[in-house]
Amino acid sequence: MSVIYDRVVLIGLGLIAGSMAHAMRAFGLAGHVAGYARSAETRDTARRIGMCDSIHDSAAEAVAGADLIVLAVPVSAMGEVAAQIAPHLKPGATVTDVGSVKQSVVQSVGPHLPPNVHFIPGHPLAGTEHSGPLSGFASLFQNRWWLLTPPEGTDQQALARLRDLIRGMGANIEDMEPGHHDLVLAVTSHVPHLIAYTMVGVADHLRRVTESEVIQYSAAGFRDFTRIAASDPIMWRDVFMENSEATLDILGRFTEELFVLQRAIRMGDGPQLHEYFTRTRAIRRSIIEAGQDTDAPDFGRSAVQPVATPDG
C-alpha cells in the first residue's frame, strides 16, 4: 500500500482509534499517525505501547498540519472537541468520526468546522467488548462494513481519499443517509445491546435470590448473548441518549414480537414456535454466509483480543 495521508490524527485512543493506528502503520497508509486523549493515563499508556508515532497533550497541538482528523470520542463529546480543534485545522483537511449515531454527530460537529474543511461522518461496524488503548488490533476492520454519511455537496476527491484509507484497512464501504443509518443501527446494534444489558440486570437480581447460582452456572446461551454487555458504558449511554427515537421505535417492535412468543408459549403452540425459530435461524445463517461472523461455538472470539504491534 502507498501512503494516503501524510499526517493522521486520532482524537480519543480506545479500541477503534487504536485499531486504526495499528492498521494504518501495519499497511503503510499514513506518513505519521498522531494521537490525543483527554486522560493523561490513556496518553501515557498509548506512549508506552507505541500506539502512534506521536502522542500530544492537547488536541490543538495534535491537529496542527493534519490531513485527516478522526474523532473517536463519545458521541456526547464530539461537538465540544470540534469547537476546540476548529481554529487549528489546516485548509483542505478532512474530519471524520467513528460514532455509532450519525444524525446527532452531524448536528453537533458540522456547525463548528470552517467551510474550507471537509466533514465526512463515518461509522465502522466493528468492535469487541474490550475498550481502552490496549484493546486495539490491526485486523479489526477486515471484511467489516464502514458506513459513511457524506453531506450533500461533499468534495468527491476528499471522499475518494477517505474511502481509499478505509479499504486499505480491510473494510467494505457503503454510503447511507444519517437518519436511515440510525434506524438500521438501532436494529442491528443498539437494541441488541440494550437487551443484553437488561438480561444481565435480570441475572443480577436473580443472583441475589439464588446466591450466585445464575452466574456460577451460566450456560453458553447466557454467556455469549450477554458478552456485549461488557462494552463501554459511557459510549452506550450516549448512543441511547442520542438515538432515542429510533431505539424506542425498534424496542416497541421488539415488545410486539415478544408478546407473540409469550402467547405461543402460553397456548402451547408448538408449530408457531417452530416456524418462528426456523425463520429467524435462517437470518442468523445468512449473517455467517455473508462473512460477518462464524458458526464456531465461541463466535470465533477468543477470551482476550490480541494487541497488535505496528509490525503486525
Same domain, 121 and 37: yes
Contacts 24+ apart (CB under 8 A), 245-254: 245/182, 246/182, 246/183, 246/185, 246/186, 246/190, 247/186, 247/190, 247/191, 247/194, 249/183, 249/186, 250/183, 250/186, 250/187, 250/190, 250/191, 251/191, 251/194, 254/191, 254/195
Predicted confidence at residue 306, as pLDDT, reads 40
Same domain, 113 and 255: no
Q: 20 and 10 in contact (C-beta within 8 Å)?
A: yes
Same domain, 65 and 163: yes
Same domain, 16 and 65: yes
Domain count for the chain, please give it: 2
Q: 106 and 176 in contact (C-beta within 8 Å)?
A: no
Which of 113, 148, 176 marks a domain boundary?
176
Predicted confidence at residue 14, as pLDDT, reads 93
Residue 159 lies in a domain: yes
Which of 116, 146, 176 marks a domain boundary?
176
Joined together, the cell numbers standing for residue 250 give 425498534
Same domain, 241 and 93: no
Same domain, 285 and 229: yes
Same domain, 133 and 150: yes
Predicted confidence at residue 262, as pLDDT, reads 93
- What does each of the 312 residues of the chain score in pLDDT, given as a tens digit? 699 999 999 999 999 999 999 999 999 999 999 999 999 999 999 999 999 999 999 999 999 999 999 999 999 999 999 999 999 999 999 999 999 999 999 999 999 999 999 999 999 999 877 888 999 999 999 999 999 999 999 999 999 999 999 999 999 999 999 999 999 999 888 888 888 888 888 777 776 666 566 667 666 677 777 777 777 788 888 888 888 898 899 899 889 999 999 999 999 999 998 998 888 888 767 766 666 665 554 444 444 344 333 333
CATH code of residue 62: 3.40.50.720
Residue 304 lies in a domain: no
CATH code of residue 216: 1.10.3660.10
β-bridge partners, 124: 146
Same domain, 108 and 129: yes
Alpha-carbon gap, residue 131 to 39, rounded angstroms: 14
Alpha-carbon gap, residue 63 to 70, rounded angstroms: 10
Please give the C-alpha separations between residue 4 and each of 54, 158, 169, 272, in angstroms, as whole numbers: 18, 11, 11, 54
Q: Among 55, 104, 52, 113, which Cα is nearest to 81's?
A: 113
Residue 301 lies in a domain: no
Predicted confidence at residue 290, as pLDDT, reads 65
Same domain, 49 and 158: yes
Predicted confidence at residue 118, as pLDDT, reads 98
- For residue 131, what are the domain limits? 5-176
Beta strands in 37-113 (DSSP E): 54-56, 68-71, 94-97
Residue 303 lies in a domain: no
Residue 97 lies in a domain: yes
Alpha-carbon gap, residue 70 to 35, rounded angstroms: 10
Residue 144 lies in a domain: yes
Which of 132, 152, 176 marks a domain boundary?
176
Same domain, 171 and 189: no
3-state secondary structure of 129: coil
Residue 275 lies in a domain: yes
Element spanning 224, H or E: helix 220-225
Same domain, 90 and 203: no
Same domain, 165 and 187: no
Residue 232 lies in a domain: yes
Predicted confidence at residue 285, as pLDDT, reads 74
